[in-house]
Amino acid sequence: MTDKLPETLDPPTHRLGMLRFAGPGMIVAGSIVGSGELIATTKTGAEAGFLLLWLILLGCVVKVFAQVEFGRYALSSGKTTLDALSEVPGPRIAGRGNWLVWFWFAMWFASIGQLGGIVGGVGQSLAISIPLTAQGALYNEAEDARISQRLMRVRSIENAQEGDETAHEAAQAEALSAEYAEQYGATQTADVAKLNPPPDAKIWAAIVAVITCGLLVVGRYRMIQSLSITLVTGFTLLTIYNLFKLQAQPDWSVKSTEFLSGLRFSLPEKSGGVSPLVTALATFGIIGVGAAELIVYPYWCLEKGYGRFTGPRDETPQWQARAKGWMKVMRLDAWGSMIVYTFSTMVFYLLGAATLHRADLNPSKDHMVRTLATMFHPVFGNWASMLFLFGAFAVLYSTYFVANASHARTFSDAIRVMGFIRSDEATQRRWVRILSGLFPMLCLVLYLLYPNPVHLVLLSGLMQGLMLPMLGGAALYFRYRRSIPGLEPGLLWDHCLWLSVFAMYVTGIWTIYSNLF
């Protein structure tokens, strides 16, 4: 990015000092909560119950070894990820960039669709909180009644005396749905889940996209990013509290037998035309450090200064000592963030299995955010929607904002690597600004063309799942063809790296098989 050589810095030697320089992993973790944990993970729990907990945990842990290899090469070489991927052997297309860089373009487009789904989720949360039309207000009433009826049905299974109350809730839901259909001529059905939704969510999504363009173009995003990380942390802690309090309610608590069953290898079968395993494999691609995060992580490491502090490679003992020290800091950063997002992912999955699966609710289309809010109803009651909508807005917008900023930087770097633009810093900055204004609107267009946030997020997960084997192969290439004598990892690390790559290949192959057959 720049020709100016930075000054070196000796690495800290104590854990507390290392923690002061941590950060890239937490930025990545903060950017994935909206799509991976909140949407995809809870949907997997809603479809599969507790049976696929083992796969979700594996998806969080196993990819860290490849993540560190990408970071190790960036630190020792000072090169960006796409620069590094262009060195991997393989055909070059049109003389510009090798096959990995071109496949990244395909995955990038799916990621833009994922952000379209996320801005749609932001629009939904605002439409539920602040409906803009009378149609939207009535739709909210009808949908709230439907959700309440589903929850009462689960309680009535355990408590027969509540049957009359459940029947009342069902009648109310049917009446509101019929009123909505009559006033707005949607369909003849009284099931609000099948009615044409109001335009409120799309209007709000457009407003959010325009505001985001302005913030990114003028560069006023550091304050928003800091605020978003704070809100994401608060919402995650609230979710943990929700799961903890859920244990006091027999109808909704997570039984020890259910939790242990989720840790045993088992695969759920299709039910009602829904395949939980397909959803889980798509989720596997984006939870923890997905393919997109594997690529983005080294950019944040370089931005943090790990490569700058190490200095240009000169083979001196001083350089090797600095490189070893900063690699320790990077590993601590990666593993520390893994513990955080693995625990939060498990919490979201268990909530989805304990509430949505039991209530037979599956987040989709314009019902996504409201259905997810159901996870908070047993504990917080009437306050549930308000609390969840505040948190959902925080985590979804945080992901949308930070990911668009990251996409602008990686995309401008990609067209530089492929020779479409010059490599000077001024050109890079100009393209980052242009793309910062373009990408949020492109996300909005994709959502308006296909207003199904969950499908958009899972499509990105499928594309990332397909790219995981390629990135696994690249990680092995960096380890055995670009490693520096004296900086190689130990034998145990190599075994774990091969296990990580094997899991990535299995995911990619099974993703192709499950979608073709």
Residues 15-133+198-516: name the CATH superfamily: Hydantoin permease (1.10.4160.10)
Amino acid 151 reads L
DSSP string, 22-51: --HHHHHHHHHIIIIIIIIIHHHHHHHTTT
The string over 319-332, giving b where at least 16 C-beta atoms fall within 10 Å of a residue's C-beta and e elsewhere, is bbebbebbbebbbb
Instruction: Tell me what the mean pLDDT of segment 401-429 comes to.
Output: 87
Residue 188: pLDDT band (50, 70, 90) is very low
Instruction: Tell me what the mean pLDDT of segment 1-24 comes to.
Output: 76
Instruction: Classify the phi-psi angles of 219: left when phi > 0, otherwise alpha if psi is within -120 to 50, otherwise beta.
Output: left
Residue 321: pLDDT band (50, 70, 90) is very high
User: Tell me: the pLDDT tens digits for 45-104?
Assistant: 888 899 989 988 988 888 899 999 999 999 988 889 999 999 999 888 877 778 898 889
Alpha carbon distance 411, 417 (integer Å): 10
Instruction: Tell me what the mean pLDDT of segment 300-317 comes to.
Output: 88
Residue 98 DSSP SS3 = strand
**Domain locations along the chain:** 15-133+198-516, 134-197
Highest mean pLDDT of the ranges 129-138, 448-457, 506-515? 129-138
Residue 401: pLDDT band (50, 70, 90) is confident
Lowest mean pLDDT among 305-309, 459-463, 474-478: 459-463
pTM for this prediction: 0.80
Alpha carbon distance 150, 378 (integer Å): 12
pLDDT of 399 reads 81
pLDDT of 237 reads 85
